[in-house]
Structure 1
Amino acid sequence: MSTSASTPSAATGHARFPHLQAVIFDWAGTLVDHGSLAPTQIFVDAFATFGITLTLDEARGPMGLSKRDHIRTLLEDAGLQAQWQARFGKASTDADIDAIYERFMPMQIEKVGRYSQPIPGAVDALKALRGAGLKVGSCSGYPRQVLDVLLPQAKADGIEADHVVAGDELAAGGRPGPFMALANVLALGIGDVRACVKVDDTTPGIEEGRRAGMWTIGLSLSGNETGLTLAQLQALPDAAVVAHREAATKRLMAAGAHLVIDSVASLTKALAEIDARMARGERP
């Protein structure tokens, strides 16, 4: 039987989200680690061992890329490159990127577990998706060695995906390319990328989902774009929270997000909106 052009080729048929098949998540700042502190702080610490001063805001700039690409992008910044040249008397090279990465990796592996706590609402959101018959994929800028530490701890706290792709294990590369998202499509047996939703707290992660042909939901307050722990966020006056939300939403929408919500605690409502838009014939 042929399928109409406006209907996913393998619709789920589940009553709650009948037009959707899978949700693909990022990890830090999306499911765990409110504020996405684990990767940012370790970048600051790793660069400091080379005598280079890197602020948390600077470290956040390329967040979402694979960690080696993240380091490369940081060193392309004029200010950091000037620091490097002042300290070492020459421009940074690929060998220097490798050296920083090799310094970064054991520090990240050692400390990632400290930041593995689920973001409030994440456990319930995953239960709701599975209860609705949706598959749960995931990908990360973290290399596999780091995920091998993070994933068991997250699982113990109720956070688990059906499939996980690490930022260093695809020959085609990582974000903002579509490759990790599409690897989830293949592994999960999804019949139509248009029935997938990518959820991410970074602009490269949103671009990844759009390039893969998926719906995309950005997270404004729980992740990299705001960069605050839950306690720090809750301590802010309402006006400051509104300002953070508006600034993050603007950046995520500019990257191509179809919707932006505060955190995964609001995910099921956002998915219902996307499903309704699909029922009206809209496609990502």
Structure 2
Amino acid sequence: MSYNTPSQLQAAILDWAGTVVDFGSFAPTQIFVEAFAEFDVQVSIEEARGPMGMGKWDHIRTLCNLPPVAERYRKAFGRTPSDDDVTAIYQRFMPLQIEKIAEHSALIPGALDTIAQLREQGLKIGSCSGYPKQVMDKVVQLAAKNGYVADHVVATDEVPNGRPWPAQALANVIALGIEDVAACVKVDDTVPGILEGRRAGMWTVALTCSGNALGLSYETYRALDSETLANERKRIHALFASSRPHYLIDTLADLPQVVADINQRLARGETPQGC
């Protein structure tokens, strides 16, 4: 037997919030702010967005490690936050998240059409998220009511290590029966999500406008003037630079053109690991 590069993509592994649902990725960010507030610790939306894409316990731990947040916690409790404190915040975060998730469950415009096109080309649709399974089950249920059902879903607490580790993406490869990681494209709106795809050996596509980095509603995004939008794209491209995505696009609606280009590159013998 000999190794041959796959001739075309077999699967797209899609993130959830900011990629397929919840255009500005508001559901997780606002709840972080509210959860910390219940402990009398102020966290801004901008701070909450920083570690987005990680598992939620790890996200809270990363926020608590920020010197300004750690100092606010010290002023409130007389100590910097321990892992037990992180767990206490996480335990408050969870019911708040489940309660509010429906408020930001709308599908991103163009997502259903894009997914339908991918399926017509024979691609399977995997998915993963920084949400734990308890929250992910609710997200999946709401998405199904709106017409989106992925072929497989992996929550962050269903693997030993969540993003930026590659376990969730690779769990999709196994469950979907994909023969080669080079036949997969990972689509995400966060740096940890792109690193996950990179480390899994997949093609990676970063979303610049629909998710966490821009952090706007669809209506506000559409209302941006061309100069502001160009400046925002430039800023967001710089944010993603260290994770080395193979492609950057505005929203999932732009993915079919990328898939066509990847298929051409695969046909030429290129692989994502070599790019």
Select 1:102's aligned residue among 82, 85, 91.
Answer: 91
Q: Do structure 1's residue 219 and structure 2's residue 207 form an aligned pair?
A: yes
Q: Does 1:143 align with 2:132?
A: yes
Q: What is the TM-score of this pair, normalised by structure 2?
A: 0.97
Q: CA deviation at 1:4?
A: 4.4
**Counterpart in 1 of 2:115?**
126
Query: Which deviations, in whole Å up to 9, do the C-alpha atoms of 1:49-103 show, x marking residues without a partner?
Result: 1111111110000000000000000000000000000110012111100110011
State the 1:254 CA deviation: 2.5
Matched with 1:205 is 193
Determine the structure 1 residue equivalent to 2:72: 83
Q: 2:259 aligns with which of 271, 274, 278?
A: 271
Match of 1:13? none
Residue type at the aligned position of 2:35: A
Match of 2:43 in 1: 54
Listed as ranges, the gaps of 5+ residues in structure 1 are 9-17
Structure 1 vs Structure 2 CA RMSD: 1.0
Offset of residue 274 of structure 1? 1.1
| Structure 2 unaligned spans of 5+ | none
CA contact 1:139–1:180 (8 Å) conserved in 2: yes
Query: Equivalents in 1 of 2:242, 2:267: separation in Å?
Result: 25
* Structure 2 residue identity aligned to 1:137: G
Q: Which amino acid aligns with 2:240?
A: L
More helix by share: 2
Structure 2 residue 102 is matched with structure 1 residue 113: yes
TM-score (norm 1): 0.94
What SS does the aligned partner of 1:70 have?
helix
8 Å contact from structure 1 (residues 40, 59) kept in 2? yes
In structure 1, what is the Cα distance between the partners aligned to 2:101 and 2:256? 28
Q: Distance in 1 between matches of 2:220 and 2:232?
A: 12
Cα offset for 1:137? 0.2
Of 239, 242, 245, 1:251 maps to: 239
SS at match of 1:190: coil
1:236 Cα offset (Å): 1.9
Give the CA deviation at 1:250. 2.2
- 4+ runs deviating over 4 angstroms: none
- Quote the sequence identity (%): 53
